[in-house]
Amino acid sequence: MTYDYRIARGVHSDIIRRLFAFNRLRMFTTRDRGFTLIELLVVIAIIGILSSVVLASLNSARKKGRDARRISDVKQLQLALELYYDNNSSEYPDALSSLAPTYISVVPADPQSGEYSYDNLTSANAACSVAGQVCSSYVIGATLEDTANAALNQDIDGTVGSVNCGTGTPPSESPSTYCQQP
């Protein structure tokens, strides 16, 4: 009896082929569903990088927002000071707290430090330190976080009364105090 190797080879290869097909089928149907540790670490790293970029840009926007509020507050205080001046014998108050509630509902506060710089002055820009002295001028200032803020180009510089309004122009002004006078 002769043995036909082609048939045997065909039978064995068919069995082997079916076995591998079964294993492949089983591999795709019984595989645990989930992520590997490497996949999770890569996703977490990408999320971390994206969140740091977003937070950095948000921080810059927050600084600009606080500076815009400071400039707006100084302008509101200027208006209230002028109303006080008109109603009080052409004289400015000793403190900003004197403005509320008659001339401004609430005296605004700096978003971070809580207060703005203010000094009432004589006509020669000297501090009103003597009782009975007429305070016919003032200086009000707010320290900005952005040293290159365009508003610093349109304010007063130097030390006026007791308020240091900075020296120079942006971006090198130090400190970056936005100051206004009448």
Lookup: tokens for 135:
């305070």
Q: What are phi and psi of 133, to 5 degrees?
A: -75, 140
Q: Which of 101-115, 151-165, 168-182 has the highest mean pLDDT?
A: 101-115
The domain ranges of the chain are 37-180
Mean pLDDT of the chain: 83
Q: Pairing mode, if any, of strands 137-143 and 117-121?
A: antiparallel
Average pLDDT over residues 46-55: 93
The pLDDT score that the predictor gives to residue 20 is: 65
The 10s digit of each residue's pLDDT in 132-166 is 788 899 999 999 998 888 888 888 888 888 888 87
What's this model's pTM, rounded to 2 decimal places?
Answer: 0.70
Nearest to 165 by CA among 180, 179, 149: 179
pLDDT 10s digits, 10-31: 556 666 666 666 655 555 555 5
**List of residues 6+ apart from 92 with CB closer than 8 A:** 81, 84, 85, 120, 121, 135, 136, 137, 138
With 80 as the cut, is the pLDDT of residue 130 above it? no
- The pLDDT of residue 40: 94
